[in-house]
Chain A
Amino acid sequence: MLRYIARRLLLTVPLIIGISLISFLVIYAAPGGPVEMATDLNPKVTAEARERLMAYYGLDQPVHVQYVRWLGRMATLDFGQSFSRDGRQVSEKIAERIPVTLSINVLSMFLIFLVAVPLGIYSAVRKDSWFDRISTVVVFTGFAVPTFWLALLLMMLFGVQLGWLPISGLVSLEYESFTLVGKIWDRVRHLILPVFVSAFGGLAGLSRYMRSNMLEVIRQDYIAAARAKGLPERKVVFRHALRNALLPFITILGLSVPGLLGGSVIFESIFAIPGLGQLFYQGVLSRDYPLIMGSLVIGAFLTLTGNLLADVGYAYADPRIRTE
């Protein structure tokens, strides 16, 4: 088992280098520079002031020098200073945003799991029934619905019309004055809509996947054998089919990390959640090079981690994989 993990980890090294290359290329290809944002059409700024800022940010070095410096710093997770006016360390800014985004993503995955698995199973077991047909359409609607549209409609319904849920932020203004239970409940209330919106899209793909997996497993011989043995249908389903169908599902869940991260850009902006997605978007708009590079790389790392965990989990559950 450990050897498997070690091997997997080793495989990620070239991936990491590739990630750094691509992210660097992406940003370097962009025209214009960050100095422009800081001094935009402000009548009080002179050409001198601009050049001072330019040298200050180190943008006058040749490309390869910048890349090598970047690579060296990436190894220590030092993404430099944000180009934005607060000039804080990029790693710091990202680090304080990650827990939020991560927790929402984890909760989403949880929700997806809780809903997609039973949904997929039931659809598979009752294939082509009304339930199957309707849930197909419903689930696909979820996939097809633009996230931001859903977010806004829900916000309007639950936030304004019904007033049940708060519409932005992570905590209420009076958070500090709540009791512990109050604090937990407050956080939960703020997370309900974002997590739901985040999970909604993923539900479709995963429940369909679960369904087709189940279908395939059900058709397997050993299932027929179990049936022949006279085991009740339920036991057949749960004991054998489920376990086998679940395994690839875990992998897919791990693979859904990049999709969830990408989606976070949109709903974090709409729900004013101070997470990685919102930070990235603002960084993109303000051409904050180090921040963008750092976010892209961290996002990629998170994806890698998700994949790794999924693979390890899969290998743990299915010994055949470990010995390949």
Chain B
Amino acid sequence: MAAGSTSMFRDFLRRLLKNRLAVAGAIVVSFLFVVAAYPPAFAPHDPSRIDVRKILEPPSAEHPLGTDELGRDVLSRMVHGARISMEVGFVATGIATVIGLFVGLIAGFYGRWVDAVLMRFVDIMLCFPSFFLILAVVAFLGPSIINIMAIIGLTSWMGAARLVRAEMLSLKERDFVAAARAQGAGDLRIIFRHVLPNALAPILVWATLGVAGAILVESSLSFLGIGVQPPTPSWGNMLTAGKDNIEFAWWLSVYPGLAILVTVLGYYLLGEGIQDAADPRLKGR
């Protein structure tokens, strides 16, 4: 089993690297990681330095992406905003993954009425337009970054749950579980040794797309005024200011929007690439 998985992994990597779009996505994602990890290295100015004499100036040598509505450097704010977006994206998706794993595992493993109840719960959650739900809860509980992460996480775990459950069920069907039990393996062992590794690829794809989705949700919330609050820079709330000044300060709308676009695109391409690379059905080409 172990030997098989490394060669499987190598095959997977080879396929992934052949996919140029996925590689592009991976580059974008890694670049953003680096930027988010150490913003001062990429930000030429202090992102919160206000200068009322330089309000809404177009891109120049000193301010490559222009200045915002309080004279702050757009590039520096975007760099720091990358960190916020990454944080929200990852933590929210992390929360969703954990919840989804938990629910899916329990439902798949114990089956029968536990499964029925949990899946009903998933169905119920899926009935709500998730943005409606998120909007309502964030608006009530207050737009702190923690609340946003938690709420996005709490409303997007359903996909992961279904994936994990499906994986569990298929394993059960293949008598994997019965065999492992016969060998004396405990429940947890079965889960960690067999279920999770198999579910890894689809979950990874799901999570990658999930991060992108979370970033989009956060920027939408910030745009509506109930996401990250100024003066903390987030791409979403920079766009709110951009919206108000769209006619004569195009840079404020274009660049943060572009950043969201490129980031989300990167994650999608990477996710799709992982999907294509991991999908055994493609092998027969």
Residues of A that sit less than 8 Å from B by CB: 14-15, 18-19, 22-23, 26-27, 29-31, 133, 136-137, 140-141, 143-149, 152-153, 156, 160, 208, 216, 219, 257-259, 261-263, 265-266, 269, 280-281, 284-285, 287, 292, 295-296, 299-300, 303-304, 307
Contacts and interface: CB of A to CB of B under 8 A. Distances in A.
Given A140-B269, A266-B220, 4 more contacts: A26-B137, A143-B264, A144-B212, A303-B127
A29 B131 CA distance: 18
A141 B129 CA distance: 23
Nearest to B279: A212
A115 B139 CA distance: 36
Interface stretch (B55-63, B102-110, B184-192, B253-261): B253-261
B126 A156 contact: no
A20 to B, nearest CB: 10
Given A27-B136, A266-B223, A258 B130 contact: yes
B182 interface: no
A219 B284 CA distance: 10
B69 to A, nearest CB: 16
A18 B121 contact: yes
B268 A144 contact: yes
A284 B139 contact: yes
Interface stretch (B3-11, B88-96, B194-202, B239-247): B239-247
7 tightest A-B CB contacts, nearest first: A262-B131, A30-B140, A18-B124, A144-B264, A261-B129, A258-B129, A149-B257
Interface in B228-285: 236, 239, 243, 246-247, 253, 257, 260-265, 268-269, 272, 281
A295 B132 CA distance: 9
B131 A146 contact: no
B133 interface: yes
A146 B135 contact: no
A143 B268 contact: yes
B128 A300 contact: yes
Given A143-B264, A299-B128, A304-B127, A149 B239 contact: yes
Contact of B136 (A216, A266, A296): A296
Max chain B C-beta neighbours (<10 A), residue from A26, A146, A303: A146
B132 A280 contact: yes
22 contacts: A14-B120, A15-B124, A18-B120, A22-B124, A27-B140, A133-B21, A136-B21, A143-B268, A146-B216, A146-B219, A147-B220, A149-B239, A149-B257, A152-B243, A219-B281, A265-B131, A265-B132, A280-B135, A284-B140, A299-B128, A299-B129, A299-B132
B65 to A, nearest CB: 16
Contacts of B126: 258, 303
